[in-house]
């Protein structure tokens, strides 16, 4: 494989993501982006490349999923001068909230957002560190759409395509891209 293809698949960034087997439960290969975050130029390259996949004219707001999604959302929001929405774990937001329950690769969870954070018709880009089964991102899309948002795009640092989440999001009309992908769970 030549350098251009390796760069196109962001192999240089994938190498910065550590894999921890059997975390948080047996059989899971945890793709740990904390090692990418530790690398200043690697993180900048990751954000630059992710930002280059987005047309800022087509989005009004960026929604980040707690907690690692906030890091991605924050960098993109700063660079693109777009506001951001926090999709948070239950009980964290002080104002009136609306929420959605969902199934994780390892358990169940719920995300919430502030009522009024998005106005009907605003176009929201949803971001997180990783998409696995897509349960979290789908809950985010449903939550935002339930508030009248138009959710057409999603971006992730990592896709685990064998778990089918990105395909499920695309089937819901969300144009979905990730910088890197890893086989397996």
Task: Provide the angle, in degrees to the nearest 10, between the axes of the packed helices 68-80 and 40-51.
Answer: 60
Between CA 178 and CA 69 the distance in angstroms is: 13
Residues sharing a CB contact under 8 Å with residue 126, sequence separation 6 or more, in sequence order:
62, 63, 65, 87, 137, 140, 141, 144, 151, 153, 154, 155, 174
Contact status, residue 69 vs residue 85, Cβ threshold 8 Å = no
Task: Count residues binding ligand AMP (CB under 6 A).
Answer: 19
State the minimum distance, in angstroms, from the CB of residue 152 to ligand AMP: 19
86 is a contact residue toward ligand AMP (CB under 6 A): no
Does residue 30 belong to the site contacting ligand AMP (CB under 6 A)?
yes
Comparing C-alpha atoms, which of 41, 42, 40 is closest to residue 16?
42
Per the residue annotation, which of 15, 66, 105, 177 is the catalytic one? 105
Tell me the longest C-alpha to C-alpha distance in the chain.
Answer: 53
Residue whose CB is less far from ligand AMP, 45 or 69: 69
Could you say whether residue 28 binds ligand AMP (CB under 6 A)? Answer: yes
Q: What's the closest the beta carbon of residue 121 comes to ligand AMP, in angstroms?
A: 27
| Residues in 120-139 that interact with ligand AMP by CB under 6 A | 128-137
> Where in 148-167 is the site for ligand AMP (CB under 6 A)?
165
Q: Catalytic site residue 68?
A: yes
Minimum distance from CB of 136 to ligand AMP (Å)? 3
105 is catalytic: yes
- The yes or no reply on residue 31 touching ligand AMP (CB under 6 A) is yes
Note whether 37 and 158 are within 8 A (CB).
no
**Range in contact with ligand AMP (rule: CB under 6 A) among 9-17, 26-34, 70-78, 172-180:** 26-34
Is the distance from CB of 62 to CB of 70 less than 8 angstroms? no
DSSP-assigned letter for residue 63? E
Active-site residue numbers?
68, 105
Residues making contact with ligand AMP (CB under 6 A) = 28-31, 65, 68, 104-105, 128-137, 165
């Amino acid at each position: 494989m030549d350098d251009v293809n390796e760069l196109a698949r962001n192999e240089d960034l994938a190498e910065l993501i550590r894999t921890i087997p059997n975390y948080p439960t047996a059989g899971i290969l945890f793709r740990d982006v904390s090692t990418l975050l530790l690398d200043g130029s690697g993180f900048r390259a990751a954000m630059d490349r992710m930002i280059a996949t987005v047309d800022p004219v087509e989005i009004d707001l960026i929604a980040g999923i707690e907690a690692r999604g906030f890091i991605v959302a924050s960098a993109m929001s700063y660079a693109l001068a777009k506001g951001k929405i926090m999709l948070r774990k239950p009980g964290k937001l002080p104002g009136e909230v609306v929420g959605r329950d969902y199934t994780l690769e390892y358990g169940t969870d719920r995300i919430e957002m502030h009522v009024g954070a998005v106005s009907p018709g605003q176009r929201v880009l949803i971001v997180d560190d990783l998409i696995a089964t897509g349960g979290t991102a789908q809950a985010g899309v449903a939550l935002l759409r339930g508030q009248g948002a138009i959710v057409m795009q999603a971006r992730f640092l990592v896709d685990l395509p064998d778990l089918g989440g990105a395909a499920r999001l695309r089937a819901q009309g969300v144009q979905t891209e990730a910088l890197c992908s890893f086989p397996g769970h």
